[in-house]
Amino acid sequence: MGLPQTPCRCREEHVPAHHHTFSAENLPEVPPLLVASDLVMSKTDHQYGNNCRIDVVHFYATGQTHRELGIWILAGLFSGKSQRVALDLEHKASTIKRLEINYSGFDQSACPGYTRKPGQFVYHPEIPDRIPWNGHLDEKDLPLFDLDFREGSSHHPVNDLDKRDKVEIGGRDDALVLVAALLLNIGLLARDVSGNIDSVPLDKTYVLECFLGWQRVAKWSAEARFHLPNSFSWPGDYPSLSQG
């Protein structure tokens, strides 16, 4: 799609613009189900204090795959339809087997009978912070990462929590655009394997914490972490994802 590969400095004088405008006219149509072999997802948990366990969803992919995932989210959002779309994850290391996006938030309104739809999103590339979105964000604008079982599963909702193999990303349109923009920005760093200690987190892992930390997800959401190859958190058993 000719996306910019460097941070945008268009707000500076006499500097060429490096941004991109997304809209329904230039985004592809999204089928209900796609298959991916270059994305690995897993789940863990960790403790806040002595008595609060929080789920964590992990995304392992190259920068290019993170960017493609961001475009997938935007394409569904700008389709103008309320729908669910899914990715089935084929990599043998992926314990999460399906990723779903719920595009139902664009038509929510306080006024009954009034519908709003996305018009355009002007994407200004920037190097993300390890914990992004430092500006003030209302909780209703934050994404929700929901761990669940795939449709048709007979697992017990409490006793089989360790067998959850589906993640749904939901929320309002603002929340989905925030996630998509983060994924697009993460892809900027894939071309900089050496990094710069002043601008690039050494481990190249990006964290969306719950309300017990730096709140970057909705209140009842699992946390999310996005990992790039060559990060400290990148497992050694995903060699195929490190290529390209």
Write a three-state SS string for the chain: CCCCCCCCCCCCCCCCCCCEEEECCCCCCCCCEEEECCCEEEEEEEEECCCEEEEEEEEECCHHHHHHHHHHHHHHHCCCCCEEEEEEECCCCCCCCEEEEEECHHHCCCCCCCCCCCCEEEECCCCCCCCCCCCCCCHHHCCEEEEECCCCCCCCCCCCHHHCCEEEEECCHHHHHHHHHHHHHHHHHHHCCCCCCCCCCCCCEEEEECCCCCECCCCCCCEEEEECCCCCCCCCCCHHHHCC
Q: Which residue has the higher pLDDT, 193 or 210?
A: 210
Nearest to 93 by CA among 53, 167, 147, 40: 40
Amino acid of residue 89: L
Range of the structural domain that residue 84 is part of: 29-108+127-242
In a domain? residue 11: no
Please report whether residue 14 resides in a domain. Answer: no
Q: What is the mean pLDDT of the chain?
A: 83
**Is residue 29 pLDDT above 50, yes or no?**
yes
Top-confidence residue, 119 or 99:
99
Within a domain: 13: no
For residue 239, the model assigns a pLDDT of: 61
The whole-number pLDDT of residue 74 equals 94
* Rounded CA separation 163/116 (Å): 38
8, part of any domain: no
Average pLDDT over residues 13-26: 77
Q: 84 - beta bridge partners? A: 102
Q: What is the pLDDT of residues 145-173, one digit of tens each?
A: 999 988 766 776 776 788 889 999 998 88
- Of 9 and 210, the structure prediction assigns the larger pLDDT to 210
Tell me whether residue 1 is in a domain. Answer: no
Tokens of 145: 């990462």
Q: Is residue 55 part of a domain?
A: yes
- The mean pLDDT value for 197-205 works out to 59
In this prediction, residue 105 carries a pLDDT of: 57
Quick check: is 43 in a domain? yes
pLDDT at residue 190, rounded to an integer: 47
**In degrees, to the nearest 5, what angle opens at C-alpha 222 toward C-alphas 220 and 226?**
145
Assess if residue 119 is contained within a domain.
no
Structural domain count, the chain:
1
Q: What is the share, in percent, of the chain residues with pLDDT greater than 90?
A: 39
